[in-house]
Structure 1
């Protein structure tokens, strides 16, 4: 029977005078590892490998890290962050696999960095976990060798892996190397080549045509640039999706659950091959969640694997779950993992013998999925999540298995697609937006469940049993004075206490506070700002007309302006002709807004422009002003009072904008071309101001007049106005159509409702 190295003294004494180089300190486990070493091992120094993030240097990132609350006590005791860093935290700027030279006086290299996503693209998984580990070990050897390459210092290399490197095995998993004959060099070459292969496929004419047509179906009216941007976004998403799928399938074809565990398993083999003359330990945590005791009960950074499930159940969004009720979900508190890793760091393994440690709970303190469900249900029964749950009773899970849930998901997915198709033909309005929001919520729930089925399906049915004899032996060798501070016996705590009193409150309370704070704030998001006075000529506010400032459409305004000058007989003929051609006009409007407007304005041929203007001034002005939204008028006046330049941008013909001249500083409208006698030709004197033409006009105007668009505002109601809204720093979607509503939500733009004066339904056409 293998006997692991044990501890012979207090951990702080065993690590005294040593220098520990660490990776991953900006991550969940790494942050607490650094805190624990700095706090409990006063005579130990550290060196941390941290990458630059944009313009923020590694040094600055570590400074920010040490200013977090958990480091406050040790920072104060050291006399400040700068002094603590100068004395005990050496910063090494670098990344994996671009590892710089390591300190030549280090004793331990604790490698905790790595891609923690279960579904990274295959090239990313290998670059981080396999290539990165190779680079790190190469630099470690150089740091511990003389100029001739002879090893003059024997380091202890501690590698943090995952218990799930066992792959799709079943039953007891020993604390030992996993038996397989996979060539990690060959797999790495293939993984990196896959990136180039998929990139090339994404640029083929067939694939680009498909992606472009998808983008055009959604954004054609907004313009070519908007469509091209969305096409490229779709291409990049497609590349990532294909690389994720390639990683998943390759991993499963070789016996692993996903590319994350596959790459981690190959990284373990890299360690065994490249460090035969080092002291080597490999720690394999299971599912790491919030701390039991240290730095405080419930300490956690971000959401981990089980947390979205817990929150979704509490919100009433998870009616059933596709797990095996008796399967063990192997959760381990973070502070136990950290304590165990530091204890491993303090050991002295034999040269050439890799030591393995399972940091898990399933062997001696198992928690089943049914147990998790019962604890979560108990908690939310006592502490209802009312903002999401409302009066809906908590769901009762019967654990029917994955197949029935997959069938329900497929049927629900079809229902959502049909619903969205029908909504595309529905008249615009608040009720339509409400239905679209409901469909979006259902889609989000389906995507959530689908992700868990795809990504975590095998974990939910897991029958793995991680033996932790070596880890328990190491715990039992702790000095009595270290039992509380460094203990890591996974059988030492009660799941009811941990789940219901520590972990679930730790992940739900911050979310509750955040949502309560949002409720206290104005329902409008930050882009609908309270207006402050500005230097005149430095800020603009651009407004769309139809559907934003007033309730009407191009066909309706044409009839207002054109019919009165016709004889009764010609009026009947004109209305009949318009009715017959309306389907054609609507089809043109869906394809290209500019073509549609030109088609309508052809009907002005023969009209007297001067008479049309007089008619608007004398007869139509009151009707037009009556159609204006009081909220729009109020907001326009607020902008003018603040010294902002107010601009109306519309595809409506200029005569119909005459009633607004007192409200706006500048009006951009469609100008009808006339002959020498002032008679309209049916053509425009320039292209209609729609889609990307509006954003281009705004940028040109701002450049000419020295206006800061980042501080400027724009208001519009249609998806076609995305370019105009995107041109300013404060875009506002006003009673938007479904496309704009969804875009605004994804971008974090304000959505406001400005009730119309007209009770009649309307269809956006300009």
Structure 2
């Protein structure tokens, strides 16, 4: 057979991986150039070779051997480094282009969707024109490219008058406008209020970073809204189908209308393979899978779909097989050598359109899929967080308005619960409540996202004509190994024996990874010897269970006669509301407020009581777990460091446990009396982080090998510097951050 030279875009994506594997396995005479961008330290070639370790190549490798597969990639795959937004000159010659690269997100920001799906396509076709070549382009689009409609969608050029150039320009302008609006004083004040409420205890830099993050999130959310709303206003379901429609128009104008060949392959919802490269092969969750698994784990108890609408799903290998059939047809034409006077090759010049769908020839009603999925998970229920079987809901397919009311009610209940928990003292129970509320919030966000994004796909009254695709199938020789006849699919068997086991295993794989992370959180790894490592400890709430307010009360009782205790302690009790507000805003403010109460104390008097019973009580308040860890770090050769906002004199009983102790120093008058003012600013939040950087640099310590222990969100700034940050019986702020960043959490 005449070898073909093929350019493939999107080779690292779901469909692209399957296309590349199929070309290499079933077309040994062809060579493939793949457009792959470098990522980080990986070159494009590195990324292609990494594909060999992925499941898409596993069955082929097991049949012919890893060396044979590696040799095929080495000798028949060329890598063109770059991407469609920054396209290098194309190689020559090219016989066929398979364009499968795109952004497949339904809710991408409008400018990003246009830049990739429309601008990238413009770059590709213009590069082909500049190269002077005339390859046949197989352009992968989507069956939903025609937008929201009813009835039969035909395999033909879309009928619309939308100007893709104007829409692309407007998408870029949207970014500029939204970004400029986000930088106005009114907007920035709102972001700052939000940031201060969340991050003020972490320090001013953290507040600034949080404000900027809030601004960037606002910009992204607004651009997502721009994309979704603009798409709907023009009759498309979302920005993905909208931009894919614009991309088709680019291909028609730039390539087909200038006398070149293009075949549009329009698949419906692509899911796991029926046969090739092996049954159930899938690379991550696809469109329908989050919906299925949310139903199976009980978080999606209802969904606003039409029970009798057709859910058009197609196995990925059927899409690949259509592409291969077009490649083979191109080769057959080339071998026949047919020519006509006008074009010299006898091939069709009008663009062709192929719907790769199941809904016309083998329809799958939504209620049938739900019933099949329910039966599967009734027999094989997923475990809930406690290891018990998850009850599988039975959908009644309510209308959208009812679902919206239920979601809104649950969101209000969750916000009320969060408001209550945030006001409670931190404890093991409140942390459990906070974690549960976080899971509920996550589920509600997913539910709303599913309802917003998938509603149109599960309520569609559109059927896709597939006459051209069936004709292409009919032209295959009898017994062809790469059939795409959708009538061969038994949906019950496909879901129960192939697809659902595949996505369930994928879910379990993710759960195992989370489980390993949770296990790491629950118990620290053994402490490894490292002479250049630090073990940095906070004091209050970490090494000892007390705090600076209780320490002050203990000093009062140790230094003053009992009849003076009520007045002294009443004074501190009177400022408790202010202390709580200070603690929620800035820990250094709390330290200053409490230490003001030491005004008039003699430093020698404090040292006397510390040398006596008060020092013994402080020493005895050390948590056993903390003492064990301090000893283990010392045994491993780590330099132990205590950094605290407590008074320097009050931590003297602990000095022998640490190699370095840094505490708050008070201003002392010439008469040896505390003035109530600090001698130096307290080392909290970012100040502690800056001190730690300088300290580690000065003694040659490696923070990446070091461990930090803290209990408060105020500790986050310096905990982020060490390689092993550990939250010890944390407050809710640090607990939430630790869960987000997957830091270890210890409950003492």
TM superposition score normalised by structure 1:
0.92
Give the corresponding residue for 2:129: 141
Give the corresponding residue for 1:670: 664
Match for residue 357 of structure 1 among 343, 354, 362 = 354
Q: Distance in 2 between matches of 1:117 and 1:69?
A: 23
| Change over 3 Å in CA distance of 1:69–1:304 after alignment to 2 | closer
Contact 2:139 2:265 in 1 (8 A): yes
Task: After superposing the two structures, state which structure 1 stretch, 82-91 or 577-586, moved more.
Answer: 82-91
Give the corresponding residue for 1:523: 519
Contact 2:527 2:633 in 1 (8 A): yes
The yes-or-no answer on 1:717 pairing with 2:711 is yes
For the residue of structure 1 that corresponds to 2:564, the secondary structure is helix
Q: Which runs of structure 2 are paired with 1:752-763 in the superposition (5 Å)? A: 752-754=746-748
Give the corresponding residue for 1:128: 116
Q: Deviations over 1:553-597 (max 9, x none)?
A: 211110101233223443221122222222222222222221221
Q: Which runs of structure 2 are paired with 1:664-743 in the superposition (5 Å)? A: 664-743=658-737
Q: Distance in 2 between matches of 1:646 and 1:607?
A: 31
Q: Deviations over 1:13-48 (max 9, x none)?
A: 4xx411111000000000000100110111111111
5+ residue gaps, structure 1: 1-12, 146-152, 755-766
Give the corresponding residue for 2:158: 178
Cα shift at 1:193: 1.4
The yes-or-no answer on 1:490 pairing with 2:486 is yes
Contact 1:711 1:730 in 2 (8 A): yes
Q: Distance in 2 between matches of 1:224 and 1:517?
A: 35
| Change over 3 Å in CA distance of 1:56–1:518 after alignment to 2 | closer
Match for residue 10 of structure 2 among 24, 29, 32 = 24
| Change over 3 Å in CA distance of 1:114–1:732 after alignment to 2 | same
| Change over 3 Å in CA distance of 1:521–1:751 after alignment to 2 | closer
Task: After superposing the two structures, state which structure 1 stretch, 393-402 or 83-92, moved more.
Answer: 83-92
For the residue of structure 2 that corresponds to 1:525, the secondary structure is helix
The yes-or-no answer on 1:241 pairing with 2:221 is yes
Size of the alignment, in residue pairs? 728
Match for residue 582 of structure 1 among 576, 579, 596 = 576
| Change over 3 Å in CA distance of 1:518–1:93 after alignment to 2 | closer
Give the corresponding residue for 1:117: 105
Match for residue 48 of structure 1 among 34, 38, 43 = 34
Q: Distance in 1 between matches of 2:327 and 2:586?
A: 66
For the residue of structure 2 that corresponds to 1:288, the secondary structure is strand
Q: Distance in 1 between matches of 2:65 and 2:261?
A: 34
Cα shift at 1:79: 4.7
Give the corresponding residue for 1:504: 500
Give the corresponding residue for 1:645: 639
Q: Deviations over 1:258-315 (max 9, x none)?
A: 1111110011011111112111100001100000011111000011111112222222
For the residue of structure 2 that corresponds to 1:22, the secondary structure is strand
Q: Deviations over 1:429-449 (max 9, x none)?
A: 011011111111110110000
Give the corresponding residue for 2:397: 399
Contact 2:523 2:746 in 1 (8 A): no
| Change over 3 Å in CA distance of 1:518–1:449 after alignment to 2 | closer
Task: After superposing the two structures, state which structure 1 stretch, 446-455 or 568-577, moved more.
Answer: 568-577
Cα shift at 1:70: 3.7
Q: Distance in 1 between matches of 2:405 and 2:187?
A: 30
Cα shift at 1:682: 0.7
Contact 1:673 1:682 in 2 (8 A): yes
Task: After superposing the two structures, state which structure 1 stretch, 539-548 or 623-632, moved more.
Answer: 623-632
Q: Distance in 2 between matches of 1:544 and 1:221?
A: 15
Cα shift at 1:154: 2.9
Contact 1:562 1:604 in 2 (8 A): no
Contact 1:320 1:397 in 2 (8 A): yes
Q: Distance in 1 between matches of 2:169 and 2:514?
A: 49
TM superposition score normalised by structure 2:
0.94
For the residue of structure 2 that corresponds to 1:524, the secondary structure is helix
Give the corresponding residue for 2:370: 373
Q: Distance in 2 between matches of 1:102 and 1:66?
A: 25
What do you get for the CA RMSD once the two structures are aligned? 1.8
Q: Distance in 2 between matches of 1:673 and 1:154?
A: 83
The yes-or-no answer on 1:749 pairing with 2:737 is no
Give the corresponding residue for 1:764: none
Task: After superposing the two structures, state which structure 1 stretch, 286-295 or 473-482, moved more.
Answer: 473-482
Q: Distance in 2 between matches of 1:527 and 1:693?
A: 29
Give the corresponding residue for 1:61: 47
Cα shift at 1:513: 4.6
Cα shift at 1:51: 0.8
The yes-or-no answer on 1:35 pairing with 2:2 is no
| Change over 3 Å in CA distance of 1:266–1:25 after alignment to 2 | same
For the residue of structure 2 that corresponds to 1:579, the secondary structure is helix
Q: Distance in 1 between matches of 2:517 and 2:65?
A: 39
Contact 1:527 1:730 in 2 (8 A): no
The yes-or-no answer on 1:554 pairing with 2:548 is yes
Give the corresponding residue for 2:241: 261
